[in-house]
Amino acid sequence: MKKVLTTDILKQIEAQTSIFNVHQSLVLCRFQDILGIIHEYFNSEIDWCDYDNGDSSYQRDGYFDPKIYKKYIFYDGNFTYNGDDDMSIIDKNGNTLQLLLAFPTRWLFEDFYQELDEGRKLFLERKSLKKKKNKDNRILRKEKRINMCNSLKKKLTDDEINFIITKFSNEEKRILKGG
């Protein structure tokens, strides 16, 4: 049986389109609010921003698509950074999230500011710990190489040391040569 287009069907489409447009407008307002809060938190200014599914070559704006943005809403824009441009946090699930590119879709209907604030602090804490660990590892590697040089110095002749010395740093060469 073939369906026939009727005025009732057209009225239903019109009504659904109207409802869809209202909902899209609500989502867009919340999207802009969230980006405003994120960029204010990170001390950056928004020149313009939009969903990342727009097409500038056709001057077509992006739009909220629930099929595309199930978990994260990706966006594009032009931003001026007055502080740190690493806008990363640890989200409530323990994942590192770079807010310069996207934010969780759930933030559309959640009060997310506490997660933003605590997540940023946690990210900076982890970053600091990693930096300290890397520094400690560099110090340990350096100490190990110095100990190795001192051990080699005791076991090798001066000619043997001069032969292998090209692979060492200036400090290690000084130790091996007795200085």
Shared-domain flag, residues 94 and 162: no
> Cα–Cα distance between 45 and 94 in angstroms, integer?
27
The answer to whether the predicted template modeling score (pTM) of the entire model surpasses 0.75 is: no
For residue 58, what pLDDT is reported? 60
Q: What are phi and psi of 74, to 5 degrees?
A: -90, 145
Residues 91 and 143 in one domain: no
43 and 79 in a single domain? The answer is: yes
Let me know if 78 is exposed, middle or buried by CB neighbors in 10 A (0-12, 13-18, 19+).
exposed
* Domain annotation covers residue 115: no
| Per-residue model confidence as pLDDT tens digits over 115-150 | 999 999 999 999 999 999 999 899 999 889 888 888
pLDDT at 57 over 70: no
Contact between 61 and 50 under an 8 Å Cβ cutoff? The reply is yes
Torsional sign, CA 10, 16, 17, 18:
positive
Beta bridge partners of 102: 74
Q: Give the β-pairing of 102-104 and 96-98.
A: unpaired
Percent of the chain's residues with pLDDT above 70: 94
**Residue with the larger pLDDT of the pair 114 and 148:** 114
**2 occurs within a structural domain:** no
Whether residue 142 is found in the same domain as residue 101: no
Final residue before a domain boundary, out of 110, 143, 167 = 110
Number of domains in the chain: 2
pLDDT tens digits, 157-168: 888 877 777 777
Under DSSP, is residue 74 helix (H, G, I), strand (E, B) or coil? strand
Residue 119 forms part of a structural domain:
no
Q: Is the same domain home to 28 and 78?
A: yes
**pLDDT over 90 (residue 31):** yes
Same domain, 60 and 144: no
Give percent of the chain above pLDDT 90. 37
In a domain, 48, yes or no: yes
How far apart, in whole angstroms, are the C-alpha atoms of residue 104 and residue 91? Answer: 9
- Confidence tier at 151 by pLDDT (50, 70, 90): confident
